[in-house]
Homo-oligomer: A and B are copies of this chain.
Amino acid sequence: MAKWVYLFKEGKAEMKNLLGGKGANLAEMTNLGLPIPQGFTVTTEACTDYYSSGKKITDEIQTQIFNALAELEKIQGKKFGDTEDPLLVSVRSGARASMPGMMDTILNLGLNDVAVEGFAKKTGNPRFAYDSYRRFIQMFSDVVMEMSKTFFENILGEIKEAKDAKYDTDLTADDLKEVIAKYKAIYKEKMGDDFPQEPKIQLMEAVKAVFRSWDNPRAIVYRRMNDIPGDWGTAVNVQAMVFGNMGNTSGTGVAFTRNPSTGSKGIYGEYLINAQGEDVVAGIRTPQPITKLEEDLPECFKEFMQIATKLENHYRDMQDMEFTIQEGKLYFLQTRNGKRTAPAALQIACDLVDEGKITAEEAVLRIEAKSLDQLLHPTFDPAALKAGEVIGSALPASPGAAAGKVYFTAEDAKAAGERGERVILVRLETSPEDIEGMHAAQGILTVRGGMTSHAAVVARGMGTACVSGCGDIKINEEAKVFELGGHKIVEEDYISLDGSTGKIYLGDIKTVEASVSGNFGRLMDWADQYRTLKVRTNADTPQDTANAVKLGAEGVGLCRTEHMFFDAERIPKIRKMILSDNVEAREAALNELIPFQKADFKGMYEVLEGKPMTVRYLDPPLHEFVPTDPEDIKALASDMGLTVEQVKSKCDELHEFNPMMGHRGCRLAVTYPEIAKMQTRAVMEAAIEVKAEKGYDIIPEIMIPLVGEKKELKYVKDIVIETAEAVKKEKGSDIEYHIGTMIEIPRAALLANEIAEEAEFFSFGTNDLTQMTFGFSRDDAGKFLDSYYKAKIYESDPFARLDQNGVGQLVKMAAEKGRATRPNLKVGICGEHGGDPSSVEFCHKIGLNYVSCSPFRVPIARLAAAQAALNNK
């Protein structure tokens, strides 16, 4: 018989996949002899079984749960539903990977009309007992039965008004009994049944609710954003209750062994005296710093610090701990490796190496590659900042500078983000329902909540700037307006936030790119020692190239030459070329473009100092360049000696039904060889001149896009060679050059063995390859991909994370076939996926030579490449 339930004392840290992170750590802490309220864990496999059994818990699993419960009753010396001293438990989710705020928790389970009496007797505090029962009914109805909270909030409000009570705490035990009666009545009215009095039924319903919550829409979104597979499932932890709200020798808190924002050493955290655990996380009252506990409860603080140190040394990482003090006795409710900002992660990793606790390899593996993105976030431009008016300040909850238009709901923020606006989301407090709006925002500002509030934790995870707990704000979320520092800010007004200082500014302050710190360089040096995959960048200007080189790029993997044509000075010339009727006119227009393109290439070659650069020839459909603005059309007509009507009709002729699958890529060079000639001249002249001037050993790499057939590549290659050789002759140069192709349509991958006969290198254009392989266009997929996520057909965006099963199969096939023909074929990837860690690992595993990504993702790719090498040794 399978084992579906483990007592805490039966587990250990290594059983994380089975028990979830929380369950495994509770087991580990139990084994370490720490003060843990005991309990048991229903395994992640039980969750998977629940789904595969048609959302049912089998009798076998239920029996094991009840057996574990009986054991827990023995351990605690209490009984479920007891009239003297009832056992109360919390029920919490706990997946393999931490999913903060995503899953629902139930406290005080086990209370019923009888047990509440026993609880009152045992605690000698009837008011506390009835308040706990009231809270339990409300929480159970909401979380387990999915009744609206407002029913209960209204009842409570009415009774408070009737009793003239200002706070909940003004209500007496008898008042609360009245509340409970009304709660039970509304429950019966809405649910059709009495509120369940049998604690075992309460428990089983709660366990099911946790299982169900694994698949709520918030959880699905979180998993998609964090690459967590949907089939992992969650464990359920059932733990004896302890109470932090039993008076002034009780309390509850959250603490980190090091500062999760900066990584600096020393305990860091917050607590509230006389409060339940959820109060700290929800940020409803603003808590005290943990160090103040030394004054309030010195013995507890001393014990807490000893255990915290023990935990960090045991796990060899910064710990994030939850604790409760019940009438002077300290309990640890959980510990885990703490989430942290990227600078903190670097600081902690470097410190742990210096402290001899971990190796450099471990340090490299500890940093989440994606999180480096945070280090590269913008700060305010110092000049612009001087003029900026500070209108308030609050907690620096997640670093980085952000400016944008104010929106008051997650939906509005999301919609604005989709329109391409920069967004600051302003909320009283955030909740998991806000996750997509938060994701769309450049910055988040909350009125309530501390450094460990939902907003702060989630924003740090996302690398989004966040200022939290700004109590000075007067907000009216319905009217979409807030007041601060004497200013009234309405929807779509601009504000700016500094998540590193906590300052809030009026207006749209210019931001500048981040520079990187010493720890960063140290970690990158380690990473570079381990990785075998080269990292290049996608850049189209000398400036971007310089930036990327600073961030460690070892060359340009993709220079998109069309980006050089959109400049105001240049676009009239490319338009003229496009609308020309014959080769001569096209050549004349192209000749005017050569100096610009050549100057760009020269600038890039200079910055690269001999590092390689792959130049991709003109790729987009030509109609992307033609004017739509009437003024532009008029200007073009007059420049070309045509009527406006003629220009319009020529532009219309370029219309395509499916431009993504139209006249673009090397198809342009096949129909208009003069374009390839012009580009070859620009590349070759630039390379020869910079080589001569600076002495760099430049070997141009010319990349023909969208090839699907060897003869097609050969045809364009012959054109390129003819011009290149002519330029060499003119300049008296013996420069080498390579001609290769992008593999971005399925046929090219299928026939890569033939194509490699002509191509000296392959670069996978995984954006287009993903489009063609899935048969959906990136621009249009938005209309249905949401339905696909909801239906759990796809779990992640294939344009962000390489589809290894499908698209990856083509990539692997093409690399193998290409190398079978040409063993020294250089193979890389230059789609968006080049900066995605899981995709980088895939590229490492199938033996590519390099990845190329946007400049700011270069460090991510370097680290991901190192991790891939270490993980696949």
* Binary flags per residue of A766-797, CB closer than 8 Å to B gives 1, else 0: 00100111111101100110011001111000
Kindly report which residue of chain B lies nearest to residue A805, judged by CB atoms.
Answer: B751
- Residues B810 and A750 in contact, CB atoms below 8 Å apart: yes
Within the complex, the shortest CB–CB distance from A500 to chain B, in Å, comes to 40
User: For the complex, is A572 an interface residue (Cβ under 8 Å from B)?
Assistant: no
Q: Which residue of B663, B712, B746, B776 is within 8 Å of A662 (Cβ)?
A: B776
User: For the complex, is A660 an interface residue (Cβ under 8 Å from B)?
Assistant: yes
Q: Which residue of B659, B708, B783, B791 is within 8 Å of A806 (Cβ)?
A: B708
The 3 A-B pairs with the shortest beta carbon distances in the complex, nearest first, are A745-B775, A658-B777, A661-B777
Kindly report which residue of chain B lies nearest to residue A782, judged by CB atoms.
Answer: B663
Within the complex, the shortest CB–CB distance from A190 to chain B, in Å, comes to 24
Residues of B within 8 A of A151 (CB): none
User: For the complex, is A517 an interface residue (Cβ under 8 Å from B)?
Assistant: no
- Residues B780 and A656 in contact, CB atoms below 8 Å apart: yes
- Residues B711 and A792 in contact, CB atoms below 8 Å apart: yes
- Residues A784 and B663 in contact, CB atoms below 8 Å apart: yes
User: For the complex, is A207 an interface residue (Cβ under 8 Å from B)?
Assistant: no
Kindly report which residue of chain B lies nearest to residue A813, judged by CB atoms.
Answer: B750
Within the complex, the shortest CB–CB distance from A467 to chain B, in Å, comes to 37
Within the complex, the shortest CB–CB distance from A86 to chain B, in Å, comes to 44
- Residues A794 and B661 in contact, CB atoms below 8 Å apart: no
CB-defined A-B contacts under 8 Å, sample of 22: A656-B783, A657-B659, A658-B659, A658-B779, A661-B775, A662-B776, A662-B777, A662-B783, A708-B806, A709-B794, A709-B806, A711-B793, A745-B773, A745-B774, A745-B775, A746-B775, A746-B810, A747-B806, A750-B805, A772-B772, A772-B773, A772-B775
A751-B663 contact in complex given A745-B773, A787-B670, C-beta closer than 8 Å: no
User: For the complex, is A667 an interface residue (Cβ under 8 Å from B)?
Assistant: yes
For the complex, what is the distance from the CA of A751 to the CA of B794, rounded to whole Å? Answer: 14
User: For the complex, is A809 an interface residue (Cβ under 8 Å from B)?
Assistant: yes
- Residues A806 and B750 in contact, CB atoms below 8 Å apart: yes
Kindly report which residue of chain B lies nearest to residue A792, judged by CB atoms.
Answer: B711
User: For the complex, is A315 an interface residue (Cβ under 8 Å from B)?
Assistant: no
- Residues A657 and B794 in contact, CB atoms below 8 Å apart: no
- Residues B709 and A662 in contact, CB atoms below 8 Å apart: no
User: For the complex, is A706 an interface residue (Cβ under 8 Å from B)?
Assistant: yes
Q: 11 new A-B pairs (CB below 8 Å) besides A670-B791, A671-B784, A709-B793?
A: A656-B783, A658-B661, A659-B780, A661-B777, A667-B776, A667-B784, A667-B787, A746-B773, A750-B773, A750-B810, A751-B805
Residues of B within 8 A of A791 (CB): 670, 711, 715
* Binary flags per residue of A642-678, CB closer than 8 Å to B gives 1, else 0: 0000000000000011111111000100110000000
Number of copies of this protein chain within its complex: 2
Residues of B within 8 A of A745 (CB): 773-775
For the complex, what is the distance from the CA of A834 to the CA of B772, rounded to whole Å? Answer: 23
* Binary flags per residue of A704-727, CB closer than 8 Å to B gives 1, else 0: 001011011001000000000000
For the complex, what is the distance from the CA of A805 to the CA of B794, rounded to whole Å? Answer: 31
User: For the complex, is A807 an interface residue (Cβ under 8 Å from B)?
Assistant: yes
Kindly report which residue of chain B lies nearest to residue A807, judged by CB atoms.
Answer: B747
Residues of B within 8 A of A658 (CB): 658-661, 777, 779-780
- Residues A809 and B659 in contact, CB atoms below 8 Å apart: no
Interface centre among A671, A768, A807 (most CB of B within 10 A): A671
- Residues B788 and A773 in contact, CB atoms below 8 Å apart: no
- Residues A660 and B659 in contact, CB atoms below 8 Å apart: no
Kindly report which residue of chain B lies nearest to residue A665, judged by CB atoms.
Answer: B775
Within the complex, the shortest CB–CB distance from A471 to chain B, in Å, comes to 42
- Residues B662 and A660 in contact, CB atoms below 8 Å apart: no
- Residue numbers of A with Cβ under 8 A of B are 656-663, 667, 670-671, 706, 708-709, 711-712, 715, 744-747, 750-751, 768, 771-777, 779-780, 783-784, 787-788, 791-794, 803, 805-807, 809-810
For the complex, what is the distance from the CA of A780 to the CA of B668, rounded to whole Å? Answer: 13
Kindly report which residue of chain B lies nearest to residue A230, judged by CB atoms.
Answer: B711
- Residues A657 and B780 in contact, CB atoms below 8 Å apart: yes
Within the complex, the shortest CB–CB distance from A495 to chain B, in Å, comes to 32
- Residues A670 and B773 in contact, CB atoms below 8 Å apart: no
- Residues A747 and B775 in contact, CB atoms below 8 Å apart: yes
- Residues B751 and A661 in contact, CB atoms below 8 Å apart: no
Interface centre among A708, A745, A747, A779 (most CB of B within 10 A): A747
- Residues B773 and A712 in contact, CB atoms below 8 Å apart: no
For the complex, what is the distance from the CA of A791 to the CA of B669, rounded to whole Å? Answer: 12
Residues of B within 8 A of A773 (CB): 745-747, 750, 772
- Residues B663 and A660 in contact, CB atoms below 8 Å apart: no
Q: Which residue of B771, B780, B809 is within 8 Å of A663 (Cβ)?
A: B780
Residues of B within 8 A of A787 (CB): 667, 670-671
- Residues B777 and A708 in contact, CB atoms below 8 Å apart: no
For the complex, what is the distance from the CA of A779 to the CA of B793, rounded to whole Å? Answer: 30
Kindly report which residue of chain B lies nearest to residue A775, judged by CB atoms.
Answer: B745
For the complex, what is the distance from the CA of A773 to the CA of B751, rounded to whole Å? Answer: 11
Within the complex, the shortest CB–CB distance from A745 to chain B, in Å, comes to 3
A806-B661 contact in complex given A712-B788, A745-B774, C-beta closer than 8 Å: no
- Residues A670 and B784 in contact, CB atoms below 8 Å apart: yes
For the complex, what is the distance from the CA of A656 to the CA of B783, rounded to whole Å? Answer: 9
Within the complex, the shortest CB–CB distance from A15 to chain B, in Å, comes to 29
- Residues A809 and B777 in contact, CB atoms below 8 Å apart: no
- Residues B810 and A775 in contact, CB atoms below 8 Å apart: no
Within the complex, the shortest CB–CB distance from A779 to chain B, in Å, comes to 4
Residues of B within 8 A of A788 (CB): 670, 712
- Residues A657 and B777 in contact, CB atoms below 8 Å apart: yes
Within the complex, the shortest CB–CB distance from A654 to chain B, in Å, comes to 9
Within the complex, the shortest CB–CB distance from A821 to chain B, in Å, comes to 15
Residues of B within 8 A of A809 (CB): 750-751
Within the complex, the shortest CB–CB distance from A751 to chain B, in Å, comes to 6
For the complex, what is the distance from the CA of A69 to the CA of B661, rounded to whole Å? Answer: 55
A774-B793 contact in complex given A658-B659, A787-B671, C-beta closer than 8 Å: no
For the complex, what is the distance from the CA of A774 to the CA of B806, rounded to whole Å? Answer: 17
Residues of B within 8 A of A744 (CB): 775
For the complex, what is the distance from the CA of A671 to the CA of B791, rounded to whole Å? Answer: 9
- Residues A775 and B768 in contact, CB atoms below 8 Å apart: yes
Within the complex, the shortest CB–CB distance from A802 to chain B, in Å, comes to 13
Kindly report which residue of chain B lies nearest to residue A785, judged by CB atoms.
Answer: B667
- Residues A662 and B805 in contact, CB atoms below 8 Å apart: no
